[in-house]
Amino acid sequence: MDENRPFSRRQFLLMAGTLLAGTGLARACRLLGRRTGQAHQPRLTRQATEPVDTPTTAPQATETPLPASPIPTATSVATPTPSPTATPLSAAPRVVHVRDSDATKWDFATGWYGDYVDQDVVYQMVDQGVMHLTGTTTRAAAWEALMPNYVPAQRVAIKVNLNNAGSEGDSDNIIDALIQPVNAVIRGLMEIGITESDIWVYDAVRRIPNRFRNGCDFPGLQFSGAWGTNAQSFSATERVSFEPRPGGPSLADQRISNVLASADYLINMPIMKKHGIAYVTLSFKNHFGSIENPAALHDYVEPSSSVYTPEYNPMVDIYKNRHFVGKTVLTIGDGLYGCRPHNYAEPEPWVTFSNQAPNSLFFSKDPVAMDCVMYDFLEAELGVQSGADDYLMLAAQEGLGVFEHRASGASGPEEWYSLIDYVCLDLNQSVKLAAWSRDGRAYLS
C-alpha cells in the first residue's frame, strides 16, 4: 500500500459518510485470488504509467419505431472545449466496485434475465459509484465533477455493448447490455441540466432491441444502431488511423460513428465478459462498435492468429483517437450478470460470487485500470488465456492509463493493488467471505 497517500480508503469512506469500503464487499472481494500455478505470464515487459488527465470535452426494420430524429453529423455541433477532470483524491487512478446482491433475482432458467433486474437498486448503485469515484456526496455534484465544463446543447454519447442483438425483436438470453444502468446514467445527466434529446445511446454495428428501448425510463432519449429508425451513419471526415510497428500489418483507416464524432462527451459502458477471439472484451474492445468495419481487425486482436503480435494492438490506436480519449469522461463496467465463459453465452452463476450473479458495477475514469480489475475477476473465475492483457500493457505504455494486476497472495482488497486505488462497496452487506479453496481460488459463502 502507498503510505504517502493523504488518507486511506477506509478513512475516505468514513469521511464520505456513506458506506464502508472493506467490510461487506471488502470481505466479499477476497474472491479474486488467482489459481496457483496458472498466473498469466505477460509476454511484454510489465510497466505501469502515471494516470493521464484525459481532457473532458465533454447512437433496422423496426417493430416499434421511435419518433424520427436526424442522425447528427460530425459538423452539427461546435467543437467542444477541453476541460480538466475533477482533481483526483490520490495519485492512483480510482476504480470503484459497487455490489448489491438485490440487484438481480434471476434463477438462470425462467424467462429473460433482463426482466429480473431491480431498477431502484441499480439507481442507487450508480449514484454511489459516481459519488465515490469523484469524492462527492450528492448525485448532482458527482456528475458536475465528471463534466465540469458542460454547457447546454452539448451532446453526450453512451456506447453500450449489444453485440449479440441480431434484430429489434431479439428475444434470446445471450448476454447483451441492460437498460437499467443506462437509465441510472441518464437520471444523473439530467440532474445537471442535460436534456434527453441531447443524449445518444448507440452501438454502430448492431441493432437496438425493442426490449432494451422499451425499458428506458426517459422517452426523449435518442437511440442509434445499425439499420432502421435513427440508423447509424459514419463520418465522412473523422477516422481512426492505425499505426502498426514497422513491418507490421497495413490496416485501412476506419470511419467513426457520426454519433460519436458529433458528441462532446462519451460514456463507455462495456460488459465484463470473456471473448472467443480477443479472450476478453472490456472497455477497449467495446469500441469495435464505434467504427465501421471492426471485423477487419479481428486477426490483429486474436493472440492465436498468425498475424498477431504482442507489440501491437489496433484497440489501442482506436482509443488514442481524439474522439475516444478526448471525450471519455467515465467508464462503467456492467457486471450485473457478466459473462464468464465466452461472448456468446447466457448468464451463469459465478463460483467466485457464491454461485450467484456478480451483481456488480465498476466505475473509473482510467480505462486501463478499469479493464485490469475486470480482467482479474474473469481470471479468478475461469482463468484467462495468455495474451489477453497484451493490449493493456501497450495502452499503459502509450500513456492511456495504469496497468496492474491483483497482487498474488494479497489477503484482502485493500492489498490487491498498489498503483490502482481499488474501492469495494457492498451496499447491503450481505456477502461473506469463506476460506481459500484448495485450487488457490477464493470464493464467497
User: Domain map of the chain by residue range?
Assistant: 34-399
Lowest mean pLDDT across 10-14, 222-226, 424-428: 10-14
At residue 89, the pLDDT reads 36
Give the whole-number percent of the chain exceeding pLDDT 90: 66
The reported pTM is: 0.80
Cell 426482466 belongs to residue = 115
> Does 60 score more than 50 pLDDT?
no
Length of the chain in terms of residues written: 445
> Does 440 score more than 50 pLDDT?
no
At residue 71, the pLDDT reads 53
Give the mean model confidence (pLDDT) for residues 216-224. Answer: 96
> Does 329 score more than 60 pLDDT?
yes
Give the model's confidence band at 425: pLDDT under 50 very low, under 70 low, under 90 confident, else very high. very high
Tell me the three-class secondary structure of 82-148, residue by residue.
Answer: CCCCCCCCCCCCEEEEEECCCCECCCCCCCCHHHHECHHHHHHHHHHHHHHHHCCCCHHHHHHHHCC
- Cβ contacts of 87 within 8 Å, gap of 6 or more: none
> Does 59 score more than 80 pLDDT?
no
At residue 47, the pLDDT reads 36
> Does 91 score more than 80 pLDDT?
no
Contact call for residues 25 and 372 (beta carbons, < 8 A): no
> What is the assigned CATH class of domain 34-399?
alpha beta
What cell was used for 201?
445511446
Name the more confident of 34 and 382.
382
> Does 313 score more than 90 pLDDT?
yes
> Does 20 score more than 90 pLDDT?
no
Give the model's confidence band at 231: pLDDT under 50 very low, under 70 low, under 90 confident, else very high. low
Give the model's confidence band at 299: pLDDT under 50 very low, under 70 low, under 90 confident, else very high. very high
Lowest mean pLDDT across 70-79, 114-123, 348-357: 70-79
At residue 72, the pLDDT reads 55
What cell was used for 425?
462497496
Tell me the three-class secondary structure of 339-386, residue by residue.
Answer: ECCCCCCCCCCEHHHCCECCCEEEEECCHHHHHHHHHHHHHHHHCCCC
Give the mean model confidence (pLDDT) for residues 261-272. Answer: 98
Interatomic CA distance for residues 289 and 314, integer angstroms: 14
At residue 355, the pLDDT reads 93
Nearest of 335, 265, 322 to residue 32 by alpha carbon: 335
Is 188 strand, coil or helix? helix
Give the model's confidence band at 80: pLDDT under 50 very low, under 70 low, under 90 confident, else very high. very low
Interatomic CA distance for residues 120 and 93, integer angstroms: 28
Contact call for residues 221 and 196 (beta carbons, < 8 A): yes
Q: Mean pLDDT, the chain, as a whole number?
A: 80
Give the model's confidence band at 105: pLDDT under 50 very low, under 70 low, under 90 confident, else very high. very high
> Does 289 score more than 60 pLDDT?
yes
At residue 188, the pLDDT reads 98
Lowest mean pLDDT across 107-116, 167-176, 183-192, 405-414: 405-414
Burial group, residue 3, by CB count within 10 angstroms (0-12, 13-18, 19+): exposed
> Does 81 score more than 70 pLDDT?
no
At residue 437, the pLDDT reads 29
Interatomic CA distance for residues 348 and 333, integer angstroms: 17
Interatomic CA distance for residues 193 and 152, integer angstroms: 7
Give the model's confidence band at 62: pLDDT under 50 very low, under 70 low, under 90 confident, else very high. very low
At residue 216, the pLDDT reads 97
At residue 317, the pLDDT reads 97
Distances (CA, A) of 89 to 129, 132, 133, 135, 269: 15, 10, 9, 7, 23
> Does 240 score more than 60 pLDDT?
yes
Predicted confidence (pLDDT) per residue in 366-380, tens digit? 999 999 999 999 999
